Amino acid sequence: MDFLGFLITQCLNALSQAALLFFLGVGLTLIFGIMRIVNFAHGAFFMLGAYVGYSAVQVTGSFWGALVLAPLVVGGVGAAFELGILRRLYGRDGNAFLMVTFGLTLVMGEVIRLIWGVAALNVPLPKLLSGIVFILDEPFPIYRLFLAGAGIVVALMIWQFLERTRLGLLIRATSQNAEMVHALGTDVRLVRSAVFGIGCGLAGIGGVFAAPLVTASLGMAPNAVIDTFVIVIIGGMGSFLGSAIAAVLVGFVQVFGTYYFPDFALALMYLLMLLVLVVRPGGLLGKEA
């Protein structure tokens, strides 16, 4: 294996990892930006995405169908949760949200266990994505290329959505000064529900994308929620661009760190976080609290 081939394939691996991390991190950071709450259930929405994706593949027979259906269902569940429960808690301190979203994680875990059972589920890839390409004689899965590409496309779409649409404008405005937006005659509560739904839907897409790589399983939620927090803390709470940069950084650190220092595979991501927090306590692009 020559070095250039190794370098290119590892960089692509890192980018595909970054894409998965980005889907998780960006949803959480959007929610935090608007609502100033930490959604502990984000990992559970990610897991729900994987399971709904599994069923969607079973029903529609198509992975593409799952990519459309799962975020809609997961986003819907998220929005319903905001409307039904979270809405009653605004005005209380942060602990209430921590408790209720943590509770939701447990409830969702059990509901998923009841519906889909304990066994891990296989989500097969469509033929188009299951092949390999050769990069300088190194086999590389097409799916990972697709994943990296999808990450970039979704990031651009979110960016354009935030910059160019009316809802995007409202979201940015609400994250800066919710009371002013409210005073100018916008129903801020509706913006909150929408953002919570969109954030959860993004986690749901992440779940569908991850399922063919790791299978849909009950261990997904606790694993994902830790990575997500690391991304959001490195990027800066509430910063969209920050979470994108953090996802890429963490992706590269994980892939190359594991290769050169396998004994410290787990520690490297946290070392990166520590380093960022020492230099910029609010995260790379966050406001220093």
Partner 1 sequence: MNIRSETTRRGVLRTALAGASLAVAAPTILRHALGETPIKIGMPLALTGPAGEIGQQMRNGAEFWTEEVNASGGLLGREIQLYAQDTTGDPATCVRKAQEVVERDGCRLLFGMVLSSEALAVVPKLAEWNAIFMSSDNGDGRLTGSSFVPNFFRANISGPMETRVISLWLRQAKYTKFYALGMDYAWGHNSVGVFKDEIAKAKKDYIGDVFSPIGTKDFSTYITKIRQSGAEVCFLVLQGDDNNAFLTQAHEYRLSDKVQLVTSIVDLNSIHAVGDASIGLAGSTRYVFSIDNPENKAFVAAWQKQYNALPDVFEGEQYQACKMLQAGIEAAKSIDPDKLRPALETASIDSIKGRVAMRACDHQAVQGGYIVRVEKPAGATTPVPQIDATFPGDQITPACRQMTFNS
Phi, psi angles (nearest 5°) of residue 141 = -70, 135
Contact region with partner 1 (CB under 8 A), list: 2-10, 32-40, 86-94, 198-206 = 2-10
Interacting positions 246-275 with partner 1 (CB under 8 A): 254-255, 258-259, 262-263, 265-266
Name which position in 1, 278, 279, 289 contacts partner 1 (CB under 8 A).
1
| 145 interacts with partner 1 by CB under 8 A | no
239 binds partner 1 (CB under 8 A): no
Ranges within 146-185 binding partner 1 (CB under 8 A) = none
Question: How large is the angle between the packed helices 240-260 and 142-164, nearest 10 degrees?
Answer: 160
Q: Is the backbone of residue 237 left (phi > 0), alpha (psi -120 to 50) or beta?
A: beta
Per-position b or e across 236-271, b if 16+ CB within 10 A of its CB:
bbbbbbbbbbbbbbbbbbbbbbbeeeeeeeeebbee
Nearer to partner 1, 145 or 169 (CB): 145
Please give the single-letter amino acid code of residue 242.
G
Q: What's the min distance (Å) between Cβ of 257 and partner 1? A: 9
Q: How far is CA 88 from the centre of its chain?
A: 26
User: Radius of gyration of the chain from Cα atoms?
Assistant: 19
By CB under 8 A, residue 18 contacts partner 1 = no
Rounded Cα distance, 104 and 81, in Å: 9
Does residue 142 contact residue 135 with C-beta atoms inside 8 Å? Answer: no
120 forms part of the interface with partner 1 (CB under 8 A): yes
Identity of residue 102: F
Q: Name which of 127 and 164 has its Cβ closer to partner 1.
A: 127
Quote the CA–CA distance of 287 and 284 in Å, as a whole number.
9
**What minimum distance in Å lies between the beta carbon of 123 and partner 1?**
9
Q: Which is nearer to partner 1, 58 or 176 (CB)?
A: 58
Kindly indicate which of the ranges 60-68, 111-119, 156-164, 180-188 contains the residues binding partner 1, using the contact rule CB under 8 A: 111-119
Question: Which member of 23, 40, 45, 143 binds partner 1 (CB under 8 A)?
Answer: 143
What number of chain residues touch partner 1 (CB under 8 A)? Answer: 37
Choice between 6 and 64, CB closer to partner 1 = 6
| Residue 103 binding partner 1, by CB under 8 A | no
**What tokens appear for 215 in the block?**
């299978």
- Give percent helix, percent strand, percent coil of the chain, each to the nearest 5: 80, 5, 15
**Residue from 6, 64, 161, 270 binding partner 1 (CB under 8 A):** 6
Residues in the site for partner 1, rule: CB under 8 A?
1, 6, 9-10, 13, 16-17, 113, 118-122, 124, 132, 139-141, 143-144, 210, 212-215, 217, 219-220, 223, 254-255, 258-259, 262-263, 265-266
